[in-house]
Amino acid sequence: MAHDAAADRSAADDKSRIQSIVKMVEVLGCFSTLHRHRSLGQVAAATGMPRASAHRMLSALREVGFIEQDPRSGNYSLGIRLFELGSLALANLDLLREARPFIDRLSRLTGESAHLGVFNGFEVIVVEREEPTERSRGVQPSESSPAYCTGVGKALLAFQPSEVVERVIEHGLRAYTTNTITDPARLREELAATRLRGYAIDDCEHQIWVRCVAAPIRSAEGHVFASMSVTGSADRMTPERLVQLAPLVVQTANSVSRQLGSETAPG
């Protein structure tokens, strides 16, 4: 009898946990590109939950970074943690498998390092790197780098919604070198130029001895979520050579995008 009672309690606990997860998913589902900001009342109405239950769910999601709350209006929006998990999930699925041969080819053709990165909302996570030789300079796979002053970062940031760009700016534009763009207006201009030409340039902005050229990669849904770059020592990667290599980098990134099912070229 005691065993049956314990089993019943365990089953009830499992059911309650599942119901809570379902409710949290329902709360997250209230947000969309058309409804980016929601009040507590709107979330309660959209989910059919009592206001107290909706508030508990929002508070729990906010604790883990899945929901953010504007301190001025009190309205809620999706948290950056969801963007991080989504980007990394994509990186762990088709991107690495499809991009590896292209990264390898890009490195062999240029004789320089080639990098593949994904955006986590603030920084770029380098998930693959190919070297033509035993050079060790530069970032290693799985390291994070700033989005606003690296080639792979600017190639990603330039194609994000304006609110994402502003969030990165608000997070702070630290000067890594004398070339780092730390003025928000100048950074916005740089990102606009990147969108226009289709590729980004890091002119010794993150590391004083390194230059690179990078291009965005789109998912099957048409979103820019990754980028690839050619990176090398500043004495080899002159400004003139960056411009010469740019079409090859863009072409390679577009090839990866097509492999992932994208029919839209970034722009």
Fold classification of 82-259 (topology level): Beta-Lactamase (3.30.450)
Q: What three-state secondary structure class fits 218?
A: strand
pTM over 0.85: no
2-78 placed in CATH 3.40.1080.20: no
Domain with CATH 1.10.10.10 in the chain: 2-78
Predicted confidence pLDDT, tens digits, the chain (267 residues) = 555 555 555 555 566 677 778 888 888 888 876 778 899 999 999 888 999 989 999 998 988 888 999 888 999 998 877 776 766 665 556 788 889 899 999 999 999 999 999 887 778 888 888 888 654 444 444 567 899 999 999 999 999 999 899 989 988 999 999 999 999 999 999 999 999 999 999 999 999 999 999 999 998 888 899 999 999 999 999 999 999 999 999 999 999 999 988 876 555
Q: At what angle do helices 51-63 and 2-28 cross, to 10 degrees?
A: 80
Q: Give start-end residues of each CATH 3.30.450.40 domain in the chain.
A: 82-259
Tell me the C-alpha distance between 162 and 188, whole Å.
Answer: 10
Place of tokens 């997250």: 28
Contact 173, 153 (CB under 8 A): no
Distance separating alpha carbons of residues 67 and 64, to the nearest angstrom:
8
State which H helix or E strand residue 248 sits in.
helix 239-259
